[in-house]
Amino acid sequence: MIERSGLATILDHPSGAAGLAVVLLFIAIAIFAPFIAPYGPFEVVYNADQSVVRLAPPDGRTWFGTTNQGMDVFSQMVWGARVALLVGLLSAIGSVVLGTIIGLVSGYFGGWIDEILMRATDIAFGIPFLPFAMVVIAIARPSLVLVILLVVFFLWRTTARVVRAQVLSLKARPFVWAARAAGAGPARIIVHQILPNVLPLAFLYMAIGVQTGVMLEAALSFLGFGDPNVQSWGIMLNAAFRAGAMRSAWWWVLPPGLALSFFVIAVFMITRAYEERLNPQLRMI
């Protein structure tokens, strides 16, 4: 029910609907990447004479040109959508599940459990994400799984705090004491009385998580801490930046950057439309 009405509000909202359309387009690109991309993510394009097509500007064969290693920029961008969606979804789900559980437990039980969990949240809020993630990756070797884990680690804290605050206010509501008076145990109350009221917030933070996750992966990859075995937009930007393509090969820089921007802004517009439903104060008129 929540998802349905949430979807309806997003569609009612012009920019929310536009954002959704763009995200659906990216999902389609990611799913059908093998059919859309003419080349593989690391495939080198050769001329008829077997020479590598290096830094070729866009033309009929390589629509967005090639990189300094002769790889097709368009194909890399298409493959990058897969990584973006994978990172976005997994890190959003992971962080929201973790944050919601911590928030629920902390808010519902209070006492020393709350104390421990909230101090842990305080610690997490004191950690500078990018530098911290760079150090961890330097220790453990870059990989996509690690990047996702780091993003989860970065994102759970906000969800946990927000959910905890919500639980505290829900706990004081009559239907919760009614359930308790009727003999319902903590697990039952959390699942049946509190969780349904926390879910809209959790969904909101999930959408925010997708956006932040994709952005952070791009940022880390751009800094050179991405997984070298996948082709993501951030890794493309890193390669282009290191090769000095900003000076010479605009076609290599723009596709990954624009894809990233469009995706992130589109997710943000969905988030915003959904947030306006939860908090009508944000509305413009």
Partner 1 sequence: MTGFARYFVRRLALMVFVVWAILTIIFVLFQLLPGDPTAIFIDANFSVEMIERQRELWGLNDPIGVQYLRYLKNMALFDFGDSFFQNEPVAAILFERTINTALMVVPALIISVVLGTIIGAVAGWRRGSRFEKVTVTTALLLHSAPSFFVGIIALMVFSYELGWLPAGGMVSLGGPEGFWETISSADYWQHLLLPCLVLVSREITGPILLLRGSMLDVKGSDFIDILRAKGLPERSIVAHAARNALLPLVTYIAVMTGLLFQGQVLLEIIFAWPGLGREMVTALGDLDYPVAQAALYLMALVILAMNFIADLTYGVIDPRVTYD
Instruction: Enumerate binding residues for partner 1 (CB under 8 A).
Output: 119, 122-123, 125-132, 134-136, 138-139, 211, 215, 218-219, 222-224, 237, 241, 246-247, 250, 253, 257-258, 260-261, 264-265, 268-269, 272, 281-282, 284-285
Burial bucket for residue 49 (CB in 10 Å: 0-12, 13-18, 19+): exposed
Rounded to a whole number of angstroms, the minimum distance from the CB of residue 102 to partner 1 is 17
Least Cβ distance, residue 247 to partner 1 (angstroms):
5
Beta bridge partner(s), residue 71: 44
Nearer to partner 1, 60 or 126 (CB): 126
Q: How far is the CB of 221 from partner 1 (least distance, A)?
A: 11
User: What's phi and psi for 21, nearest 5 deg?
Assistant: -60, -45
Q: Least distance to partner 1 from the beta carbon of 259, Å?
A: 10
Report the residue number, 143 or 261, with the smaller CB distance to partner 1: 261
Nearer to partner 1, 92 or 253 (CB): 253
The identity of residue 198, as a single letter, is V
Neighbours of 196 (CB within 10 A): 12
Q: CB–CB of 5/203 below 8 Å?
A: no
At residue 44, the 3 state secondary structure works out as strand
Q: Which of 7, 32, 31 is nearest to 19 (CA)?
A: 7
Q: Is 50 left (phi over 0), alpha (psi -120 to 50) or beta?
A: left
Tokens in use for 125? 């809020």
Q: At residue 39, what are phi and psi to the nearest 5 degrees?
A: -125, 165
- Name residues whose C-beta falls within 8 Å of residue 83's C-beta, 6 or more positions apart in sequence: 144, 217, 230, 231, 232, 233
Nearer to partner 1, 138 or 191 (CB): 138
Nearer Cβ to partner 1 (229/279): 279
Closer CB to partner 1, 84 or 189, in the complex: 84
**Is the separation of the CB atoms in 80 and 231 below 8 Å?**
yes
CA atoms within 13 Å, Cβ hemisphere of 170: 26
The backbone torsions φ and ψ at residue 172, rounded to the nearest 5 degrees and listed phi first, read -85, 0
**In the bound complex, what is the minimum distance in angstroms from residue 179's beta carbon to partner 1?**
34
Nearer to partner 1, 14 or 196 (CB): 14
Closest distance of CB 251 from partner 1, Å: 12
Nearest residue to 241 via CA among 226, 229, 230: 226
In the bound state with partner 1, the residue whose beta carbon lies nearer, of 139 and 181, is 139
CB of residue 90 to partner 1, shortest distance in Å? 19
DSSP state of 65: -
